[in-house]
Amino acid sequence: MTHTIKINNQEFILHPLGGVFWKNKSLLLISDVHLGKVAHFRKFGAAVPQRAAQKNFMQLDEVVGHFQPFQICFLGDLFHSHLNKEWQLFENWVEKTPAEIILVAGNHDIISPERFERLGVTIYKEWILDKFLLTHHPREREGYFNFCGHIHPAIRLEGFGRQRLRLSCFFKSASQMILPAFGEFTGTHVLEPTKNDEVFAIVEDEVLKI
């Protein structure tokens, strides 16, 4: 189940897989997919199942199919490291995806921009749309609301009997929203909200405001 919020009179839909759909622009925001990470770790002997790589593309298909956006903007760390076998899977995915694809480059995006450009993927260091600033690393800029990634935000909840639950989340302050990592094989970093922050946790197939 998705969750809809308004920011600066614009409507945004939060999806439990970690995407944000900007309804007014028909623009889907996704951060920190880290494609190629599975192949990278397997190359060095880590016991990571190959199906984890396929799941990333299945989840991309699911969220794109749900919203059918005109554009998809990846907010950095789309590909984890150097070229490996998963690049071919990405090429195939781009070929069958009708939306225009934009990459706001992150610190892990070290593959030559020419390879992305040959696939029709546009690359920016940052992207400004109206009064919204789209970046990989969190940024503060007066007059703009920032959508970003990089942090892989999570929230820790405590229950009775010292029960603890760690959940990926969308972490929103007055002028910024940090998206959860979209990738299947990524870690998380727990953030401590203040009274002015809003946290939208991902609980199974739902986005719930905490």
Q: Where are the domains of the chain?
A: 3-209
Site of tokens 């622009």: 25
Looking at residue 161, its pLDDT comes to 59
**Cα gap 169→181, rounded to integer Å:** 9
Looking at residue 109, its pLDDT comes to 84
The pLDDT averaged over each successive group of 10 residues in the chain (210 residues) is 97 98 98 75 49 82 98 92 79 96 91 93 97 98 98 87 84 98 83 96 95
Looking at residue 53, its pLDDT comes to 67
CB within 8 A of 135, min separation 6: which ones?
A: 75, 76, 104, 126, 127, 146, 147, 148
Could you tell me whether strands 20-22 and 27-30 are parallel, antiparallel, or unpaired per DSSP bridges? antiparallel
CA distances (Å), 96 to each of 49, 72, 99, in order? Answer: 25, 13, 9
Q: Say what the pTM is.
A: 0.92
Identify the CATH class of 3-209. Answer: alpha beta
Residues facing residue 207 across a β-bridge: 202
